[in-house]
Amino acid sequence: MLGYPSYVYEVAIRGLTPSSCSAHCIQGLIGIGGVFEYFNSSGVSLDNSNLKCLKQVAVDIGDRRVMAGVHYPSDNLCSWVVLMSLADHVYRNTDVKGFLWDAIENHSWVYQSIIKHDRQLRGGSALRQALDYLHSLIPRQC
What residue type is 76 in one-letter code?
N
pLDDT at 122 exceeding the cut of 80: yes
Among 10-14, 24-28, 82-86, whose mean pLDDT is lowest? 10-14
Return mean pLDDT, the chain.
Answer: 88
Q: Is 42 exposed, middle or buried (0-12, 13-18, 19+ CB in 10 A)?
A: exposed
pLDDT, tens digit (0-9, with 9 covering 90-100), for 6-20: 655 555 555 556 678
CA angle 22, 86, 98 (to 5 degrees): 95
List the one residue out of 103, 78, 76, 98 whose CA is nearest residue 87. Answer: 98
User: What residue segments make up the domains of the chain, in order of their start?
Assistant: 23-136
Q: Is the pLDDT of residue 91 over 90?
A: yes
Query: Cβ–Cβ contacts within 10 Å for residue 67, how many?
Result: 12
Q: How far is CA 19 from CA 15, 78, 81, 118, in A?
A: 9, 9, 15, 19
Summarize pLDDT for 95-112 with one digit per residue, the tens. 999 999 999 999 999 999
Least confident among 4-8, 51-55, 112-116: 4-8
